[in-house]
């Protein structure tokens, strides 16, 4: 069984909480901690599901990091519903809980192609 690093999830949630405030606005540490705690609670809700399917629970942390990098724009604000829905989607893509067919399967091929392109671009810029 792969060890879950809760401290890393906490740090990822803190980083996300910090980055979504408008550039000039520097929230107090209490505000960041409160928001990060709420994000972490949402993220922790995915860990058991991921483990139940035999996957690395730390992928939840990586999904939070991905959300921060891809969508954690200053000014996004505190939208826990959006965060939860986005995390649901990312975890489902990384750890499918069902079988797919038809257009859903075609979409997964589209996602795979996009991921491959993103990885190629990232590797080319290193």
Domain ranges of the chain: 6-95, 98-126
Tokens for 86, please give them. Answer: 């986005």
Contacts 24+ apart (CB under 8 A), 79-88: 80/38, 80/39, 80/42, 83/16, 83/39, 83/42, 84/42, 87/42, 87/43, 87/46, 87/60, 87/63, 88/46
Under 8 Å between Cβ of 17 and 36: yes
- List pLDDT tens digits, range 77-89: 778 999 999 999 9
- List pLDDT tens digits, range 33-73: 999 999 999 999 999 999 999 999 999 999 999 999 998 77
């Amino acid at each position: 069984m792969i060890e879950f690093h809760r401290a890393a999830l906490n740090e990822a949630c803190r980083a996300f909480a910090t980055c979504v405030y408008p550039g000039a606005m520097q929230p107090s540490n209490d505000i960041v901690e409160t928001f990060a705690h709420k994000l972490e609670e949402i993220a922790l809700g995915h860990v058991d599901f991921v483990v139940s399917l035999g996957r690395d629970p730390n992928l939840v942390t990586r999904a939070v990091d991905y959300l921060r990098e891809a969508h954690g724009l200053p000014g996004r604000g505190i939208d826990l519903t959006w965060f939860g829905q986005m995390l649901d989607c990312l975890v489902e893509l990384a750890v499918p809980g069902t079988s797919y067919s038809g257009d859903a399967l075609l979409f997964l091929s589209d996602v795979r192609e996009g991921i491959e392109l993103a990885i190629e671009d990232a590797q080319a810029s290193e």
